[in-house]
Chain A
Amino acid sequence: MIPASFDYVAPQSLTDALAALAEHGDDAKVLAGGQSLLPILRMRLNAPSVVIDLGKVTELQGISDEGDHLVIGAMTTYAAVLASEAVSTHAALLSKAVATVADPQIRHRGTVGGALVHADPAGDVGAPVLALDAELVIAGQGGATRTVPAADFFEDLFTTAVGEDELLTQIRIPKHTGWGAHYEKFVRVSHQWSIVAVAATVRAEGGSIAEARVGLTNMGSTPLRATAVEQALVGQSATEEAVRQACARAADGTNPPSDLNGDADYRRHLASVLTRRAVLAAAGA
C-alpha cells in the first residue's frame, strides 16, 4: 500500500494552483485533506504524476457570513465546520451531518470541498448541501468563475461539475436560521460510511411543518432530494403518524446500490424508516 511515485507541488495562492493545474492537466491530482485521495493512491487505483497540494492556499479556508448566505471555503476542514457557531445557527443540517463523518482524526484532515468533489455517494456532506439548496463556486482558467446550484453539481458516481482544469472554491449556503435539522445515518458499526442516511431540515410553525428539505445519502449514484416527501410534509403536524405517512415514499424514484452491507430493497426500506426518524427529530417531535 504505497503510492506510485509522483511530483509534489504546493502553490501558495489560488492563481498559482490553477496555473499548476493548467500546466500538468490530466497528469495532476489535487490534494485537499487526502482522506480519500491518499487511500486511492496507496491502493494504486490512480497514479498521477503530479500532486498539487491545496494546503497552503489559505484563501480557500474559512467560513464567512455574507448576510443571507454562509460562505464556506472549499479547504475548510470538517472540524472547523463543526466548531463554527455560524454553521450550527444558520445551516444546522450541515453541522449535524458533518458530526457523523468518520472520527476526529479524519475530521481534522478532511475538507468539505474535498468531500464534495470526491462525490462518493456514501459520503455525508452531499445530501445536506443539496437539501440546503447550496451553490458551489468553481474557479476555472483565466480568472473565470461560475456558480453551480447543488442540484446540478453532482453528475454521477465520483463525478461532479468541476472540470479537469477547475477547482471548487466555495460552498454558498442560503441561511436556514431557525430551521430544525437532523442527519439520520445508518451504519452497522460506528465510524463507518453511510449504508443509507437522510438529511432533513424543517421550518416548523405552530406545531406543524411549514417547509421541509430532505436529502438522501447513498440511495443512488449521487445525493438525491426526496421532493415528494418534502411536498407531502408541508402543512402536516409534526406527529409520528402524519410524518410516517409522508415519509413512506422516500425511496420513490431512487436507484440504490446493492452491496455487502445491504441490497437495494433493504436500502429502499431504510430510506423511509430513516426519513421518518430524521424529519421527526428535525421537527423536534
Chain B
Amino acid sequence: MSAPPPRVTHGPGEPYVGTSVPRVEDQRLLDGRGRFLADLAAGALSVVFLRSTEAHAVIESIDTTRATDMPGVVGVYTGNDLPLARDYIGSLHTPDPGFVAATGFRMPEQRLAILPVDRVHYVGQPVVALVASDRYLGEDALEAVDITYRPLPAVLDPSASLAPDAAPIHPHLPDNEAGRIEVEFGDDVAADAVAVTVEGTYRIGRHGAVPLEGRGVLARVDGQRVSVWTSTQIPHLVRQGICEATGWSVDAVRVVVPDVGGGFGTKANVYAEEVVVPVLARLTGHDLVWVEDRQEHLVGSAQGRDQVHRTRLSVDREGRVLRWEDDFLLDIGAGGLWVAGVVANTAIHLLGPYRIPRVRLRGRAAFTNKTITAQYRGAGRPEACFALERSLDDAAGRLGITPVEIRRRNLLTAADLPYAQPLPYRDGVPIVYDGGDYLRCLDSVLELLPAETVERLAAEHPDLTIGHGVGCYIEATGRGSFESGRVRLTSTGGFEVASGAASAGQAHETVFAQVAADGLGCSLELVTVRRSDTDLVRHGVGTFASRSAVLAGSAIRRAAEQLLDQATGRAAQLLGVSPDLVKSTASGFAAADGSSEWEISWADLATACAPGGAQEQLGPLDVVEYFHPETVTWTMGAHAAVVGVHRGTGAVSVLSYAVAHEGGVEINPQVVEGQVIGGVAQGIGGALLEQFRYSPTGQPTSTTLAEYLLPGTCDVPDVQVRHLGVATPCNPLGVRGAGESGTIAVSATVAGAVEDALHGLVRVSETPIRTGPLRAAAEQIRREGQ
C-alpha cells in the first residue's frame, strides 16, 4: 500500500487554487442531506413509460383505452397526442467547417422519434407515456396498454448494417451510415525502412456509465413558464432540446439541476423523457415526475464504446513508428446525438502522444437496433488508445523489445513539444499538443510501479501468474465553444457563483469557490456555489469532455476579477478616495492616505448598491462572463498495471495500478486525484467486467446488475497517482482537463499486463477480456515451471 500523497493545505493569505481544501459538498452528500431528483417528487403525479419490447418493429397499433380506464390514471399518451413542433431531438454537436473540410466528416440528420408511432428501433425505447396518481397505479395501468408490433429483422452487427444491400433502419435515410471520417497525412514509407508490420482487429465492448443515481425529470407549470428539474450534466442543452421540440421560447423554460449522483456522459444527453414530462405537465396542468429505475436505465439510458478497429502499424528496426493505419467502426445503436463528437474524438486520439509521420485513418459509424449511445467517459479516446497501444505492444513483441521501450522511443519529449499535427481539431484550429514532456510521464509511472513489482507480487500470490503492462494516452480537454460563469455579491456581503457546467458530484461547489475566492481576494467561506439553473445563468453548455474546470473555471475567475475591479471603483467612490489607494482585504476594502485609514466591508458595498443605498443607481455587483477558449488544451498520461491471472480459473485480478499524468495547474489536487482514481475504477469495469449484451434477436441480456457486472470496492486496487503539472497558456487558470484521464488507458494497460502474465501465449484484442479461456495458457506456464 502506498502512502497517501502529501496534501497541500491552505495557509492564510495564500491562494486557494492549488490546495486540497476539503470538499464542501461532502458533509451534505454523505450524511443523507443531498437533494436528488427523487427527493423533490413529493406532490407530483407520476409519469411512467411503456418501452419497446422489440428491437426493430413496425407499430401496427397502440390501444390505450383499457389503460385509460384503470384506477388512478390521468391520461395515456402516444406520440400522436403530444403537441410537438418537431418530434425528434437534434444533434448536440456539429464540427467546425474547417474540420469537416480536412477530414471529409459527414453525418446524416438523425430523427429518432421522441415517442414513435410507426416504428421502434431498440428495446427500451419509450413508446407510450402514462400519467397516474402514483407510480404503483401507473405501472399497473401500463400492463393494460396494448401495442401490436410487426417485427422486422434486428440489425445488431455494424458491418452488416453498413453492407451495401442492408435495408436502412431509419426510413428517412438512404443507408445506415451514421457518420464517417477520413484522415490522412505524411509521405509514403519506403518498403525497406519497415522492419515489422503488425495487423490487428480490436474490439471494445459496449458498456456505459451506470451511475449510482439514474435519470429523472420533474416538471412544474407556473403561469406561462415550465420549470424542469432534471438529473443532467447539460441543463442549457436540455432547455434547447425542449424548446426545439416544443416551439416554446427559451424564456418560457427553466431547467434546474438538483444534486446529481454521477453522470459520466450518460447524462450529457437530451432524452425523450426530458421533453415528454414538461409537455405533459403543460397538457395536464399537474406537477409531474418520472424517476428512472435500474431496469429502465440498463436498456434506456445512453451507452457507449462498441467499436471495432482494424489496424496496421509499421515500425523500423529501432521500433520507431513509420506508419499507422486504422479502419474503425462504431456501433452507435439506434441513435447518438454526439456521433460527431465520438467519431472525431476516436480519429483524433488515434494519433496518440507519439511521433507518427504517416497516418491513414478511416472511421464509420453505423446505426443498429441497440440502445442509443452518447459520450461515455473518454468517448472515443479509450477505444483509440486500445487500438494504438495494443498495436505498439504487438510490434514490440515482434521486435523483441519491451512495451516500455517501444513507447520510450516514440513518445514526444520536451524537445518535440509543443507538437503540431497536420490536422485541425474539431473546432477548426490546427492541432498543437501544448504539453511539456510526455516521456517524463512514462518514466514517472514506472517509478511508481516498476516492472520488478511483478517478482514481489508473484511471491505473494503463488496461485497467480503475474504480469506488468503500460499504456499511454493523450486527451484533448476543455473544448469550447464557451462556458458561462456568474459571480454576484449577496445582500449580506457574501458571493454566489453559478455556471452552466452542472455538477454530477465532481466537487464543483468546492473548486469553483476556490477559483472565485482567489479572483475576489476574499475568504473561501464567503463564497457559495449554486447548483446549475438556467435562470441563474441564461447561457451555458454543460459538463462533459473534461471541460468544466478549464472553461467554467476560467469564466468564474474572470467574472470574479471583474467584480473585484468594479467593487474597487465603487469602494473608492464611497470612501471618497482615488481607486489606486484602495486595497482589497479578506473581508472588503481598505484605503489609507498616510494620515487616515478607512475600511469598507463587502456587506457595506451590498447595502450601498441596494435600493436606498448611495450607489443604488449603479445596480448590483453581479458579473456574468463567457469564456471562449481559443482551442483545446492537451492532457497526457501513462498508466501501469500489475495483474494476476489465476492458474486454475483464468480469473484476472488487478493487483496494483498507477497513473502519472501531465495535467495543468490543479485547482484542488485531492479532487483531481479522486477523478483519476474513479476513472481507473470505471476503466477496470470496462476492461474486465462490464458489457451490454444482446440476444440474436436484439433482446438485451444485461438487464440487471447480476448480468451487468460492475466493479466494487473489493475489485479495484489502490491506485497511485502522480501529477506532473505543466501549466497551459490556453486559459487564465493554466488548468487542463482531468475528468477522463483515469479511464482512457485502462483497457490497454490491463490487456498488456495480462499478455505479459501469460508470457505472450495469448493475444488480448477484445474488451471486456474473456478471462475463462486464459486458464489454458496460465496452466501451461505452471506446467512448464514458469
* Docked complex Cα distance between A273 and B651 (Å): 12
Judging by beta carbons under 8 Å apart, are A190 and B709 in contact? Answer: no
Tell me whether B648 and A273 are in contact (CB under 8 A): yes
Since A189-B689, A189-B709, A262-B772 are in contact, a sample of 8 more A-B pairs with Cβ atoms closer than 8 Å, ordered by chain A residue number, is: A2-B138, A5-B140, A43-B295, A189-B710, A260-B702, A260-B707, A269-B649, A270-B648
Q: Is A144 an interface residue (CB 8 A)?
A: no
- Does chain A have a CB within 8 A of B360? no
A275 to B697, CA, bound (A): 38
B711 on the interface (CB 8 Å rule)? yes
Can you offer 15 A-B residue contacts whose CB atoms are under 8 A? Answer: A2-B135, A2-B136, A44-B139, A188-B689, A188-B771, A189-B689, A189-B709, A189-B710, A189-B712, A189-B714, A190-B712, A191-B712, A262-B772, A266-B772, A273-B649
Are A4 and B693 touching (Cβ within 8 A)?
A: no
Alpha-carbon distance between A120 and B212 when the two chains are bound, in angstroms: 27
Residues on the A chain within 8 Å of B702, using CB: 260
Q: Does A192 contact B (CB under 8 A)?
A: yes
Q: Which residues of A contact B135 (CB under 8 A)?
A: 2
Q: Is the interface of A mostly helix, strand, loop or mixed?
A: loop
User: A-side interface residues toward B, CB under 8 Å?
Assistant: 1-2, 4-5, 43-44, 186, 188-193, 260, 262-263, 266, 269-270, 273-274, 277
- CB nearest neighbor in B for A1: B293
Per-position binary interface string of chain B over residues 743-785, scored 1 when its CB falls under 8 Å from any chain A CB and 0 otherwise: 0000000000000000000000000000110010000000000
A5-B140, A266-B772 are contacts. A188–B294 as well, Cβ < 8 Å?
no
Chain B residues, CB < 8 A from A4? 139-140, 143
Whether a CB of chain A sits under 8 angstroms from the CB of B65 is no
B706, CB-defined interface residue at 8 Å: yes
Q: Give the CA-CA distance A4 to B771 in the complex, in Å.
A: 40
Q: Chain A residues near B709: list those with CB within 8 A.
A: 188-189, 192
Query: Given A1-B293, A4-B140, A262-B772 in contact, is the A270-B710 Cβ separation under 8 Å?
Result: no
A115 to B136, CA, bound (A): 27
With a cutoff of 8 Å between Cβ atoms, the chain A residues found around residue B293 in the complex are 1
Chain B residues within an 8 Å CB radius of A269: 649, 775
How big is the B interface, by class?
Answer: 20 to 34
On whether the beta carbons of B649 and A270 are closer than 8 Å, the reply is: yes
| B294 adjacent to A1 (CB under 8 Å) | yes
In the assembled complex, B715 has its CB within 8 A of some CB on chain A: yes
Q: Tell me how far the C-beta of B46 lies from the nearest C-beta in chain A, rounded to whole angstroms.
A: 10
Complex formed: what's the CA distance from A121 to B366 in Å?
Answer: 40
Q: Which of A189, A260, A266 has the most CB of B within 10 A?
A: A189
Q: How far is the CB of B649 from chain A (nearest CB, A)?
A: 6
By a CB distance below 8 angstroms, the chain B residues around A43 are: 295
The reply to whether the CB of B61 lies closer than 8 angstroms to some CB of chain A is no
| Contact yes or no, B715 A193, CB < 8 A | no
> Which residues 680-719 in B have Cβ within 8 Å of A in the complex?
688-689, 693, 701-702, 706-707, 709-712, 714-715
Q: Which residues of B are found within 8 Å of A273, using beta-carbon distances?
A: 648-649
User: For residue A2, which residues in chain B have a CB less than 8 angstroms away from its CB?
Assistant: 135-136, 138-139
B775: chain A residues within 8 A (beta carbon) = 269
Residues of B within 8 A of A270 (CB): 648-649
B711 / chain A contacts, CB cutoff of 8 Å: 189
A114 to B772, CA, bound (A): 32
Which B residues are CB-close (under 8 A) to A191?
712, 714
Least Cβ–Cβ distance between B135 and chain A, in angstroms: 6
Inter-chain contact B772/A192, CB cutoff 8 Å:
no
Contact string against A for B residues 173-187, beta-carbon threshold 8 Å, 1 for contact and 0 otherwise: 000000000000000
- Closest B-chain residue to A190, C-beta based? B714
Check if B772 sits within 8 Å of A190, measured CB to CB: no
Encode contact with A along B716-738: 1 for CB under 8 Å, 0 otherwise.
00000000000000000000000
Distance in angstroms from B387 CB to nearest chain A CB is 25
| Residue from B138, B701, B712, B714 within 8 A of A260 (CB atoms) | B701
Residues of chain B within 8 A of A192, CB atoms compared: 706, 709
Q: Tell me which of A1, A188, A260, A263 has the highest count of chain B C-beta atoms within 10 A of its own C-beta.
A: A188
